[in-house]
A and B are shown apart, each in its own frame.
Chain A
């Protein structure tokens, strides 16, 4: 084939360009650590990676939600635990109070103790997480229970709404408890028992004792329900965490460059590029017959 000078130069330029282009692409990979910068570099991988990133974000959202739910349920658990402690103390006091050997003064002293525990119980039921009351239904900014000045009644200010939360796609759990249903009879039987003790009214005390045992059992049931919910949230958080790890690994596999490979590819391309430049410089400046004629 006849080779014209133009051809030599054009070929040299094209080869240098091609080689430099490849060098730039490998440099990009080695520099960024990613296999592709633009979707067009590898559309199928890129859209897969986008899907994975989107799942990561979604899971992240659910993990936040799960942690929030977990906080809320821990708050519930703490309140239930305290309530049951209080309840146990009250039951002991009532047991003492029902003893025939006690004088009315001693009963009245027990009544005062019960009154203190009542106040403590109301305080506990008014617990909040991050400024949101746990037991006022949807009215999270309203103090759920108020004890009137005379200490004769506890009013419920919340509603019967049950706060719910999606803790994973399509997985909804109840966080809240109906404060009134859970604690009202507890408080009422406490008030009744206190009054019976203060007034030394034995029949009323027996009735209040029975009612209180039932109310305490209801709180215990609620605590069990709450525990189940906590387990559910923990399990979901666990599986979300595992999913995150897996997705991250998959994403890395899809879009991260193997650095050892990237660097050695870059090095080898650099060598190729140097050779191409060397060869091209000779081709371009190559001697022709004009140089050697004399």
Chain B
């Protein structure tokens, strides 16, 4: 049987429940812009009803409600959305990283300009040709030396900036690995807190937000996937190897070597991410930049060999005194190098070569520009070491290859980014805060709260009537 006091209690519960609702709304509004925040909602439900049948009325007439209560603070989150988003964002980040790094490389090679190696090669050939016009001309010789020095410098500086960029990628790899380790520890710790709170039948909403942010970032970095367990903990793995299990994080370790630090798991297994920024960094560091370096080295090596072969021919094939253009023995034009490995970095003019040593013509036949002409003609000669391309064509092809790689990375990055942002929008649509909605809920909760205070007033009046108004007969 209901008592007046139980009516007060109903009103009180209404006040408390609406207050809690308002607090959740406040939390939502406050976090409307917090990255990774998932909106929450106080889920209201009716209180446990009491039986009305006992006492004055015969039989059961039904149950009497005991008001409202907050059943749970619900967090809006869809796991499958997270999975799909993370899958796309890791690919998007990988390609964006490759695009950015390669664009940096392209800028430093500046091939589409008059200072590109290709343009300088053309200048170099033209200077030889000019020398062949007038082999005795000292100005032409100086101009040739100058142009050759520029070409050599261009090779050297490009080689240096490529290796610098490789070291940069290496550094960023090491930093990324540190970030992965920190995130892994964070997830492990949050796993512990979340499972603990869940065990006490509570909702660790904000910890879950934090963990989701960490998992998003892990996906961006390594393409890590996560799997939720019944106790609320997640298992995180990268390409089949566990990164976090329960409250245990399995770390990645790097070696100190520059620029080829290797990444492996603590247990010694090899680390091989398929997507994510780490995969992009590894690809740029270990494939793209070395490939470009090799192209540059091969070009430089072919140039050294082709020019030297004419400027300082092998006496076995061209005996110096007997063959007319080579009346005097020649000198290497470029300093000889043993192999193409690193040739672009070390290419230099023969340090002993003076203006007068340039075999535009021999000392015996000063007017004969045959040798200069032969060297100038190298520009049209297919080089066996370059797959039968000319030196210029081979190099142009290399830079076009880089351009295509950038284009490919750009379009991949754009495509994955479009999908990732569409998925992110979809996810946001479900989990994000809408201020209009919150305002409406706030008004409704506020009104309910006001109504509850009115009910309280009514109860108060009734009690006042009973306490102060009853039993005054004959007074």
Contact = CB atoms under 8 A, between A and B. Distances in A.
A7 B443 CA distance: 24
Given A163-B367, A289-B439, A64 B429 contact: no
B369 A163 contact: yes
A6 B432 contact: yes
Contacts of A137: 367
B247 interface: no
B368 A138 contact: yes
B373 A40 contact: no
Interface in A23-57: 36-44, 46-47, 50-51, 53-54, 57
Interface of A: 1-7, 9-11, 14, 36-44, 46-47, 50-51, 53-54, 57-58, 60-62, 64-65, 68-69, 130-132, 136-141, 159, 161, 163-166, 169, 176, 288-290, 293
Given A47-B400, A132-B367, 17 more contacts: A4-B428, A7-B425, A10-B424, A39-B400, A40-B102, A58-B379, A60-B126, A64-B130, A136-B367, A138-B366, A138-B368, A140-B366, A141-B366, A161-B367, A161-B368, A163-B369, A164-B370
Contacts of B366: 138-141
B429 A38 contact: no
Interface stretch (B164-172, B199-207, B402-410): B402-410
B125 A43 contact: no
A182 B439 CA distance: 108
Contact of B439 (A11, A40, A50, A293): A293
Interface string B100-122: 00110011000110000011001
A159 B365 contact: yes
B133 A68 contact: yes
B222 interface: no
A289 B129 contact: no
B377 interface: yes
B380 interface: yes
B254 interface: no
A46 B399 CA distance: 10
A288 B123 contact: no
Contact of B118 (A6, A50, A163): A50
B373 A4 contact: no
Interface in B414-431: 421, 424-425, 428-431
Contact of A38 (B107, B364, B376, B430): B107
Contacts of A39: 106, 111-112, 399-400, 402-403, 406
A5 B32 contact: yes
Contacts of B430: 2
Interface string B359-399: 00100111111100100110110000000000011001101
B132 A166 contact: yes
Given A38-B106, A161-B367, A4 B433 contact: yes
A241 to B, nearest CB: 17
Contact of B112 (A14, A36, A288): A36
Contact of A54 (B133, B137, B392, B406): B392
B369 A165 contact: yes
B425 A11 contact: yes
A65 B373 CA distance: 11
A65 B132 contact: yes
B443 A47 contact: no
B431 to A, nearest CB: 8
Nearest to B380: A169
Contact of A58 (B102, B125, B433, B436): B125
Contact of B129 (A53, A65, A136): A65
Contacts of B435: 5, 288-290
Nearest to A56: B122
B397 A47 contact: yes
Given A6-B33, A46-B112, A61-B126, A40 B103 contact: yes
Contacts of B46: none
Contact of B367 (A43, A140, A290): A140
